[in-house]
């Protein structure tokens, strides 16, 4: 998503840390539903994840926003 690397920033304690966003809201899927880890989950850093829920936008929309703002910064 934003390319933030926990290992690079935090060293060893950051290894393997990431949050996952469920594309399908959990309250919309039934108990019998088997999560498709490739299509239904997106690994995302906690900052981006918070923004996603705060703004209630799609992963694709957030990626566009991040890319646009990164171009401005660098």
Binding site for Zn ion (CB under 5 A): 1-2, 4, 21, 45, 47-48
Question: Residue 34 Cβ, how far from Zn ion at the closest point, in Å?
Answer: 19
User: Around Cβ 49, how many Cβ atoms within 10 Å?
Assistant: 19
Question: Residue 4 Cβ, how far from Zn ion at the closest point, in Å?
Answer: 5
Measured in whole angstroms, the distance separating CA 16 from the mean position of its chain's CA atoms is: 14
Question: Residue 7 Cβ, how far from Zn ion at the closest point, in Å?
Answer: 14
CB nearer to Zn ion: pick between 47 and 58: 47
User: Around Cβ 9, how many Cβ atoms within 10 Å?
Assistant: 9
């Amino acid at each position: 998503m934003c390319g933030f690397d926990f290992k690079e920033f935090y060293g060893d304690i950051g290894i393997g840390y990431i949050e996952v966003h469920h594309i399908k809201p959990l309250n919309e899927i039934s108990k019998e539903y088997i999560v498709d880890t490739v299509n239904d989950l997106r690994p995302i850093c906690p900052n981006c994840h918070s923004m996603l829920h705060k703004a209630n936008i799609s992963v694709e929309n957030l990626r566009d926003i991040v890319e646009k703002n990164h171009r401005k910064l660098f």
